[in-house]
């Protein structure tokens, strides 16, 4: 305590006037951690009943029976003879040994590999003396069944199983008159496989459970199965041009949809990088189609069914060949013995 006469020290504060300790100020609002975001729920996988599997079995059985009828196309013997001579080394690429007046004409036999495989199967099962013919019919029926499998798989996701089964059955029914042991049956199957491989990047979703599927762009690798498919196709049938044409049409549709389509913001219909990937795939598919014994001449030889050769106009009026070259839109197409 200060005595009288002492000058008070201004820095000293009397005990009665000691300032209380300041309490921490309360914040206006309490910050809470952000709530945990639950991952998007994946839709439950649709369960298939025994009726669905029965329907698939019926469609596949119908396709097998539709492809099991005997061969009536006389050009089967030409394919067998070509395969036999190719295996024996008697036929050289570019030379037609079976036509008179074909000397000096470059023969583009784009189905040479089909001829070779057909002869190998025919001869491997005993030839004409054994079960070679039955083996070819069985092979044809299996290809028709595989075609139905691919068509079922194409429509499985978009329209459901029943719609896919009905569509596949109708397609097999429409193709049944043309399911002969002919190179064209390879084009039926490969065209369906082309559509499947073009659709597959939209159906495979490896990161669907964490919601990252729509953000991942499609690259060229997603369409790689088309390349070996087209290499085989160009050596099996002259209708191989349907493959690059299908890719080009899908690319055109993708460009139109991305710029003018109402669903261009829908990840189900449009994904990043898809247009660029399809451009690369189209260029690569055209390049791999050059892997054949005839090179660019394979592109310059249209299929005989288009009727672009001078001799086709004569054959279309010949009773022996008219049924093979008749259009389904002609009035006589449904007459027994002609179109069917």
User: How confident is the model over 112-135, as a mean pLDDT?
Assistant: 91
**The model's pTM:** 0.74
Query: Average pLDDT over the chain, rounded to whole?
Result: 78
Domain locations in the chain? 49-182, 183-306
More confident site: 45 or 282: 282
pLDDT at 115 over 90: yes
Residue 122 and residue 273: Cα distance in Å, rounded? 46
pLDDT at 14 over 80: no
More confident site: 67 or 105: 67
pLDDT at 266 over 70: no
pLDDT at 252 over 70: yes
Of the chain, the percentage scoring pLDDT greater than 90 comes to: 34
Give pLDDT, residue 138: 94
Give pLDDT, residue 94: 82
pLDDT at 327 over 70: no
Give pLDDT, residue 163: 83
Q: How confident is the model at residue 128 (pLDDT cuts 50, 70, 90)?
A: confident
Per-residue pLDDT reduced to its tens digit, 97-111: 777 666 677 888 899
Per-residue pLDDT reduced to its tens digit, 168-216: 999 999 988 888 888 999 999 999 999 999 988 876 554 444 444 444 6
Q: How confident is the model at residue 31 (pLDDT cuts 50, 70, 90)?
A: low
């Amino acid at each position: 305590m200060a005595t009288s006469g002492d000058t008070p020290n201004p820095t000293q504060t009397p005990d009665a006037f000691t300032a209380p300790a300041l309490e921490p100020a309360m914040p206006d609002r309490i910050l809470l951690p952000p709530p945990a975001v639950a991952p998007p729920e994946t839709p439950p996988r649709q369960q298939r009943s025994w009726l669905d599997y029965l329907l698939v079995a019926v469609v596949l059985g119908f396709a097998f029976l539709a492809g099991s009828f005997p061969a009536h196309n006389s050009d089967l013997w030409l394919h067998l003879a070509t395969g036999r001579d190719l295996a024996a080394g008697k036929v050289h690429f570019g030379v037609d040994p079976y036509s008179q007046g074909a000397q000096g004409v470059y023969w583009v036999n784009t189905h040479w590999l089909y001829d070779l495989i057909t002869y190998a199967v025919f001869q491997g099962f005993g030839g004409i003396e054994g079960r070679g013919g039955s083996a070819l019919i069985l092979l044809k029926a299996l290809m028709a069944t595989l075609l139905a499998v691919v068509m079922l798989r194409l429509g499985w996701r978009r329209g459901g199983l029943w719609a896919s089964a009905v569509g596949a059955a109708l397609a097999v029914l429409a193709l049944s008159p043309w399911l002969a042991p002919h190179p064209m049956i390879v084009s039926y199957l490969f065209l369906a496989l082309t559509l499947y491989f073009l659709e597959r990047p939209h159906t495979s979703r490896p990161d669907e459970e964490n919601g990252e599927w729509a953000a991942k762009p499609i690259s060229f690798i997603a369409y790689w199965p088309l390349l070996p498919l087209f290499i085989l196709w160009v050596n099996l049938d002259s209708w191989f041009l349907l493959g690059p044409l299908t890719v080009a049409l899908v690319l055109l549709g993708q460009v139109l949809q991305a710029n003018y389509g109402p669903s261009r913001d829908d990840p189900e219909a449009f994904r990043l990088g898809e247009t660029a990937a399809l451009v690369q795939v189209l260029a690569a598919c055209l390049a791999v189609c050059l892997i054949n014994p005839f090179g660019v001449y394979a592109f310059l030889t249209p299929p005989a069914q288009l009727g672009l050769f001078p001799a086709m106009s004569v054959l279309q009026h010949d009773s022996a060949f008219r049924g093979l070259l008749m259009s389904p839109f002609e009035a006589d197409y449904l007459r027994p013995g002609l179109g069917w």
